[in-house]
Amino acid sequence: MVARSRQSVINLYPYQRAFFKDAARVLVGIWCRQGGKDFTAAAKAVDHGFRTPQPWYIVSLTQRQADATFSKCRSVAKAIKGAVKARGALRESERDFEDYDREIDHAFRCVARTLHLPGGGTVTSLPGRDPDTLAGLTGNIIFTEFGLFPGGGYDHWRVVFPLATRGFRIVVISTPRGKNTKLFELAQQTDLYSVHVVDIHRAVAEGMPLRGEDGRPISVEALRKLYGDEMGWRREYLCEFTGDAEALITWAKLVAAGERGEALPFDWLHLKDGGGWRSGYFRPLVAAAGRPEIGWDVARRRHLSSVWVNLDLPGGTKHLRYLVVMERCSFALQREILQEAMGSRRDAVGCGDSTGLGMDSNETLTSRYGEARWQGVDFTGAKVKRELASGLVTAFDDAAQTLPPTGGEHKRIATDLYALQRIGDKATFTLEETSNPLLPESHCDVAWSAALATRAAAKRAIVPHVSVISPGEAGGQGPSRHGTIEIHSPGAPRQ
């Protein structure tokens, strides 16, 4: 088999081909988002595995990322095998193991997937949050999104580099993060390591397409305007190390919030595809002490929709009483849930994400309950998110917010808040929505609903009277699973 045949099958852009062909002992790829770094690294490992019996290990932070990388390896291997007519079968195997995250003190049951190539080479893709789980491996190593690794990646480098002592290679690929990372250190030592930097301008100039939702080409400048985050643009697309990231709320404060809420009642639902909703779920709010303060982060398909309900208890405590997270649930159901929560009490107040898809629903809620009770918040612009985040931080700094205990399944709530990262100083910081390992469907959606509930707490205006009519009492209106919410001003007759 000749190299040209393999490369023509894989179809790489020039910047990808340069990385693919680089045989440096330590190879560092700092590329913009969606530049194809994961695919290129997978292709590099598979191609080398066809030519030698050496093992390759591709290490990711999450099972989802590891499985996505393995899928790329499989596709590349099938294409190469068909093109060069290599003898022998492609075979796959799996191995269960336990990974561990030191930051959140949580163990994960994980799967390492191995692709066995003709000739004896292997490519294994696996999660590796705990560097000690990798200590027994020997072979070539690829770290994906190395800038996100715990502790800046220093422990992983310290443990894993010796695995390549006997002539094996280490490949590091990532979009930049903070300067307090091993990735930044590697990027500065171009005399020792082969460093490939590919920003959005180079990627597009060398063939990577940019397209809008209609499939038509768009310019880099148009993409920048759509993104609307200059700090994020510099890091994610221009490959600049713009600042150090840290958790918006420390894990110690989240644990303390769980201890404060340990003896308090808490209920939550995780709804999927519209199923699982229970009529009367918010009925205990009618007699509960404290005003309901509600935050709604809106989503329909790719993210979670989250409804966070605090009770404002005497002494200023914000008690998380209810949480409803929804996957792929209709807007009609989401509005129904919000209306039941708001209709349970005349003093209930709330805020919702009115950006994009949420605009219509929030306008409906504002019209129904009035601006004194419901407010839509447009997330567009870094300033709005900073304000929301600052309010959330204050609630935890002042020991006001409670959580359910951060053990068991409730830990996923704390990890969603912990996944919200702050970059920069207090006046101009930006926010990074990192992954939640215990609720991977979320993009800090639970955290944003908490921030919106905190924002709702500032609403102190006199509110209209709200009554809940049982099914059958609503004249001229169709039945509902939860009754009909009727709104009228003080002293005004029912309609």
Does residue 407 surpass a pLDDT of 90? no
For residue 486, what pLDDT band results from cuts at 50, 70 and 90? very low
Q: Are 31 and 198 in contact (CB under 8 A)?
A: yes
Q: 263: exposed, middle or buried (C-beta count within 10 Å: 0-12, 13-18, 19+)?
A: exposed
Question: What pLDDT score does 134 carry?
Answer: 84
- Token pair 């959580």: residue: 403
Domains and CATH numbers, the chain: 3-236 (3.40.50.300), 245-463 (3.30.420.240), 464-495 (no CATH)
- The whole-angstrom separation of Cα 17 and Cα 386 is 40
CA 338 to CA 253: how far, in whole Å? 29
Mean pLDDT, rounded, of the chain: 85
Is the pLDDT reported for residue 474 higher than 60?
A: no
The pair of structure tokens assigned to 450 is 């908490």
Question: What is the model's pLDDT at position 429?
Answer: 78
Percentage of the chain beyond pLDDT 90 is 59
Task: Report pLDDT for 427.
Answer: 66
**Pick from 173, 47, 17: which is nearest to 115 by CA?**
47
Closest by CA to 396, choosing from 261, 265, 295, 257, is 257
What CA–CA distance (Å, rounded) separates 483 from 468? Answer: 7
Residues 6+ away with beta carbon under 8 Å from 307: 294, 295, 296, 322, 323, 324, 325, 326, 334, 337, 338, 341, 449
Under a CB-based contact definition with an 8 Å cutoff, are residues 171 and 140 in contact?
yes
- 230 burial class (0-12, 13-18, 19+ CB within 10 angstroms)? exposed
What average pLDDT does range 328-350 have in this prediction?
93
| pLDDT at 119 (0 to 100) | 79
Tell whether the model's pLDDT for residue 454 goes beyond 60.
yes
Is the pLDDT reported for residue 241 higher than 70?
A: yes
Which tens digit of pLDDT belongs to each residue from 110-154?
Answer: 999 999 998 789 999 999 989 888 887 889 999 999 998 988 899
Plot region of 105 (φ>0 → left; ψ -120 to 50 → alpha; else → beta):
left
- pLDDT value for 348: 95
Mean pLDDT to the nearest integer, 309-330:
94
pLDDT confidence tier of residue 491, bands split at 50, 70 and 90 = very low
Better pLDDT: 467 or 277: 277
The answer to whether residues 81 and 1 touch, using CB atoms and an 8 Å cutoff, is no
pLDDT of residue 117: 93
- Whether the CB-CB separation of 114 and 425 falls below 8 Å is answered with no
Which pLDDT does position 228 carry in this prediction? 78
Alpha-carbon distance of 138 to 162, in angstroms, equals: 9
Whether 375 shows a pLDDT value over 80: the answer reads yes
Band of residue 367 on the pLDDT scale cut at 50, 70, 90 = very high
In 3-state terms the chain splits into helix, strand, coil percentages (rounded to 5) of 35, 25, 40
Is the confidence at residue 260, as pLDDT, over 70?
yes
Q: Which of 46-50, 106-110, 362-366, 379-383 has the lowest mean pLDDT?
A: 379-383
**What is the number of other CB atoms lying within 10 angstroms of the CB of residue 482?**
20
- The first and second tokens of residue 146, run together, are 């190395």
Rg (CA), the chain: 26
**What is the average pLDDT across 5-32?**
87
Tokens, residue 495: 């309609």
Q: pLDDT digits over 172-219, tens only?
A: 999 998 888 999 999 999 999 999 999 999 999 999 999 887 888 899
Residues 174, 405: Cα–Cα separation, whole Å: 34
Share of the chain above pLDDT 70, in %: 89
Residue 132: predicted pLDDT? 86
Backbone angles phi, psi at 26, to 5 degrees: -125, 120
C-beta neighbour count of 169 within 10 angstroms:
20
Identity (one letter) of the amino acid at 111?
V
| Residue 462 host element (H or E) | none
pLDDT over 70 at 27, yes or no: yes
382 band by pLDDT with thresholds 50, 70 and 90: confident
Choose among 283, 300, 271, 288: nearest CA to 341. 283
Give the mean model confidence (pLDDT) for residues 457-476: 45
- pLDDT at position 86: 64
SS3 assignment, position 378: coil
- Report residue 84's pLDDT band, with 50, 70 and 90 as the boundaries: low
d(CA 167, CA 77): 24
Q: What is the pLDDT of residue 478?
A: 33
Residue 295 scores a pLDDT above 90: yes
- Give the chain's length: 495
Q: Which long-range contacts (CB under 8 A, 24 or more apart) does 184-190 make?
A: 184/147, 184/241, 186/26, 186/28, 187/28, 187/30, 187/241
| Element holding 484 (H helix, E strand) | strand 484-488
Euclidean distance between CA atoms 447 and 467, whole angstroms? 31
Confidence of residue 426 (pLDDT cuts 50, 70, 90): low
pLDDT exceeds cutoff 80 at 108: yes
